[in-house]
Structure 1
């Protein structure tokens, strides 16, 4: 009789999920890391870390907050799409990012940049919407060797935005036609999963990620329009982001709002303290060489000054946290040590965004490029970030990699 009751209870629950649209059922799906983590581990130099990671290959994978889906799973799925978010969740990302910008009618949507629609959606193949772009397409032959175009979320209403379809981020910088311009996916990515790419509003991303039982890290993006925009101030913008989580009844402890603008972070700390406690300062002070990660004197404000302002989380790019010792071994940078000394929790970005690493790894590894010569070095870098720098989370374009590492090392 007990088994019959369990069966009936399960049937009732499944019926409720169907009535609710079936989204909650996704949360019950097992996490799968696929072949890539082991591909990377196989490519590692022989040593204790490689052996330790290989011993975890039979483990049952589970979600980990250490693993953050950067724009979803954008190594192979169009960024900020429903399909990309689901892929990130299925690879064990415990936290998923929606970069937040706004449309012409001030509705919040998930886009990495307010003006990236020409590179990340099909807007240019939609003449009625392409005509609304801030800068209509003109071919390379008319612009000194490069095509010129700029299409912004703020060029469209929400209703118009909803009709777009996502595509892999990229553009052909020598294109003479729109068709050629759209063929810009980097060769180490793929268009295989871009045939269906559903764009998301901020509220829709909240509903989806909530249904998966995961956490949120919305980034308030800088804008390309002048602020205030038709009476919409920066404060209104920062407030609106938090308001969507309040309206959805989301526990503030599940939300990590981010911004490169320190004033946004301080606004949340002051005006929305429950959410501000987990606000993340994305550190872009490397721009213009304003900050050298090995020169403490260039940290302005200092790590302690940030902490004194109420900042609890800081998030620089990977290379700012790493350096090389005299023997060429990867070690924490002065920046990493100072952040840790001030009690700041560190998140970093972005793993799996560099393509093959056989030539030094590119921009994300610029401070340690002399130690990077194969794809397996991703795992070595991840190990230093976790064990020596002490990061609490890593953004990845392919969260299976960070999930595998977190599961193997017992990280949440």
Structure 2
């Protein structure tokens, strides 16, 4: 028990006591001049609920002149479709903290800066489209952080895009909203997008190697489809996973089948026992059937216990020419170019038993069908000699040069052609540096079984890095959705497996469920980070949101010196590790974006609230959960250094203040109990460094929300001055 308590103590955030040295409060029902507001509810307009504009929803703070502060109001009444009459403003506040018991601080609201777009820089329709001033509203942007640049202009971070917005000192938009690039570059061989390969088509949803399986794979978003190729008696390449289409036991019972041949009495005399790669196998062999005979058969599901029999008996066995014709048909209708990723199955068997050179037949068919674009074909094989023959002889004679992929089976195996020649090399030898170097002499990539990349315990290996160093693409196999194929660490989530492999840098992956694969891959190749509230979607433009709602730039600041801005998302971009959020660095002169790193939320932490600089490399970050009042647990302020990261690439964090445990020995706050103040508001979105010892923190009261201080208690705007127990290393240009 003592050991357990010690472990828990080590995992918990280090205690960092802060003391309340000032308190002030602005009543929730504080209004400024302007049109009446609050008329919208879920996109429907009714009667205005409020006279004027609520001074509320503070989501960012900066210093003003003469000891005042500027506070940014956010998007209004909690949602985009409720806030069309909420005007976006910065309010100038004079704060006088109460510094002793029974002395209450005061908050005086001064003038405001109205954010507006009179020069029509916003390229889409806004709420006040036709008005001269084009005042911006909470239905146009969700502004959550801001800072003043040295030239006096104003920069604002938005959640809806998310965008960066650049205003003049008096609130006029100076340029079009600046989109957020998707900077989660994957470590692929050449920085290219990874490809999704429909393994035997969409074999998780349709019987494998049928035109319907390929069609569904293409419609699901696969970049390539994979036909495994074997040869008929009359020399035609057809798509089957093995030369045996129904495997039988000694008693004639079907163990596995991809066609209904065992139910056809006219073919009962075709059962034969042969050696396939040195192993005796009994069943029905493709090379014993003419194409005309195979066309009388119908495909069946190979894994009926797992995937059912719904589509059994509906689809033919297709030829390679028919697969190519399907791809051309789709291209003609949609303009979308799909690749073909054929595998020559068991070349030694096909040559020795069937008397056919599948590699030569493959090239002959591709040339005949006019499908020889090296950007749309990969040729793969588990054997080695046929790939070398393709590279050295067959392709040059045909005048084509297509990329070759050396497949690598699991540990302990061996390519059969090498084994047949007495070559002692195993698959283990093929993935050594020397083995990869040899593969690179004839192939452009390697196709390893996925356990060579992530082992059975879920730990990554260095294979991808070593293969890339040899100049080889890495296309791994096979991703499947069923829990039986997933490691426990993925918690039955096939997307989690795919994301891990993509983040490790695979250049492509085979999957039985290309719809899932395409969805996950799209999270990384979308050129922009987009929330569901992105205006492109409202304008009918296609695209996929890769950021949760209200997950845009919650934190924005400009560092001392005024050259670099930092913008921190509130939530995790799809595809990133769960609970990690991106911090972007933006050069304000040339608008160049870089990914500074990722901030990892605590267990129980669900979002961030604000960021502010301490010095040239350090920032304070408000982290919170989505709870309030007595349920609130995580309301913390951490310090990070943008140059210091953990082994996983996330920023190191130092706890500066636990806002659920603030010492208040003077009883400055009316909500303190037994000398302790908690700050349990749902959102706390304002922090600024006053000096090395003191910070100012304020909540966003989400007007007209209740619940922060009690179920039926209206949330006020509360301002707290906190003395730190450890001074900050404050640089020039920070604080007062």
The answer, yes or no, to whether TM exceeds 0.5 is yes
Other-structure match for 1:217? 341
Aligned: 1:281 with 2:397? no
Point out the structure with the larger strand share: 2
Show the counterpart of 1:141. Answer: none
Q: CA deviation at 1:72?
A: 0.8
Give yes or no for the alignment of 1:77 onto 2:206. Answer: yes
The alignment's TM-score, normalised by the length of structure 1, stands at: 0.66
- Cα distance, 1:127 vs structure 2: 0.6
Alignment correspondent of 1:393: 508
Q: Residue 191 of structure 1: SS of its match in structure 2? A: coil
Shift of 1:381: 2.2
CA distance in 1, matches of 2:511, 2:197: 6
1:320 has 2:452 as partner: yes
Per-residue deviation at 1:94? 1.4
Give 1:134's aligned residue: 272
Q: Deviations over 1:115-153 (max 9, x none)?
A: 1245111101111123222259xxxxxxxxxxx941110
CA contact (8 A) 1:68 1:96 kept: yes
Counting only pairs closer than 5 Å after superposition, residues 168-317 of structure 1 correspond to structure 2 as 168-170=301-303, 185-186=304-305, 188-213=306-331, 214-222=338-346, 225=349, 227-229=351-353, 231-232=355-356, 236-253=357-374, 254-271=376-393, 272=395, 276-284=401-409, 286-288=411-413, 299=432, 302-307=435-440, 309-317=441-449
Segments of structure 1 that go 5 or more residues without pairing to the other structure are 1-63, 137-147, 171-184
Greater fraction of residues in helix: 1
Structure 2 length as normaliser, TM-score? 0.38
Question: 1:264: Cα distance to partner?
Answer: 1.6
**What is the root-mean-square deviation in Å for CA atoms of aligned residues?**
2.8
Please give the alpha-carbon distance, in whole angstroms, between the structure 1 residues aligned to 2:347 and 2:381. 12
Paired position in structure 1 for 2:292: 159
Secondary structure at the counterpart of residue 227 of structure 1: helix
Q: Would you say the 8 A contact 2:222–2:515 is kept in 1?
A: yes
Secondary structure of 1:89's aligned partner: helix
In structure 2, which of residues 231, 238, 255 is the aligned counterpart of residue 109 of structure 1?
238
- 1:68–1:396 Cα contact (<8 Å) kept: yes
Contact 1:72 1:80 in 2 (8 A): yes
Q: Partners of 2:212 and 2:297 in 1: how far apart?
A: 14
Q: State how far apart, in whole Å, the 2-side matches of 1:230 and 1:379 are.
A: 41
| 1:123 correspondence with 2:261 | yes
SS of 1:372's equivalent? helix
> Hey, what does 2:572 align to over in structure 1?
none
Q: State the match for 1:44 in structure 2.
A: none
Point out where structure 2 has 5 or more consecutive residues left out of the alignment.
1-192, 248-256, 275-280, 332-337, 415-424, 528-736
For residues 393 and 85 of structure 1, the distance between their equivalents in structure 2, rounded to whole angstroms, comes to 18
Q: Distance in 2 between matches of 1:190 and 1:246?
A: 38
Change beyond 3 A, Cα 1:322–1:227: same
Q: How far apart in 2 are the matches of 1:266 and 1:198?
A: 33
User: What whole-Å deviation, never above 9, does each CA across 1:254-285 have from its counterpart, x for those lacking one?
Assistant: 11111111112212222215755411111126
Pairwise CA distance, 1:168: 0.1
Q: Cα deviation per residue 1:314-361 (whole Å; 9 max; x = unaligned)? A: 00111111148xxx7x453132232122121000111116x214xxx4
| In 2: Cα distance, 1:297 partner to 1:94 partner | 27
CA distance in 2, matches of 1:164, 1:245: 25
Query: What's the offset of the Cα at 1:405?
Result: 0.8
Q: Partner of 1:50 in structure 2?
A: none
Deviations 1:293-327 (A, max 9, x none): 7xx897385212221x1321100111111148xxx
Match of 1:351 in 2: 479
Question: Is the 1:69–1:399 contact (alpha carbons within 8 Å) kept by the matching residues of 2?
Answer: yes
Deviation of residue 229 (structure 1)?
A: 4.4
Change (3 A) 1:337 1:154: same
2:227 and 2:430 map into 1 onto residues whose CA distance is 34
Going from structure 1 to structure 2, the CA distance change for 1:153 and 1:195 (only over 3 Å counts) comes to closer
Is 1:70–1:350's contact at 8 Å kept on the other side of the alignment?
yes
Is 1:383 aligned with 2:499?
Answer: yes
More relative contact order in 1 or in 2 (CA 8 Å, sep 6+)? 1
Taking a change above 3 Å as real, the CA distance of residues 230 and 76 of structure 1, as seen in their structure-2 partners, is: closer
- Residue by residue over 1:32-83, the C-alpha shift from the partner in whole angstroms, topping out at 9 and shown as x without a partner, is xxxxxxxxxxxxxxxxxxxxxxxxxxxxxxxx87111111111121111111
Contact 2:387 2:442 in 1 (8 A): no
After TM superposition, the runs of 4+ consecutive aligned structure 1 residues lying more than 4 A away are 223-226, 273-277, 289-293
1:374, 1:285 → 2: CA distance?
24
Greater mean deviation of Cα atoms: 315-324 or 127-136: 127-136
Distance change >3 Å, CA 264–CA 285, structure 1 → 2: farther
Quote how far apart the aligned CAs of 1:411 are: 6.8
Contact residue 315 and residue 346 of structure 1 kept, 8 A? yes
Contact 1:121 1:164 in 2 (8 A): yes
Tell me how many residue pairs correspond in the alignment. 300
Partner residue of 2:576?
none
Report which of the two structures shows the higher radius of gyration computed on alpha carbons. Answer: 2
Q: Secondary structure at the match of 1:113?
A: coil
Q: Is 1:339 matched with 2:467?
A: yes
Give the direction of change, closer, same or farther, for the CA distance of 1:265–1:225 in structure 2 (3 Å limit): closer
Q: Is 2:196 aligned against 1:67?
A: yes
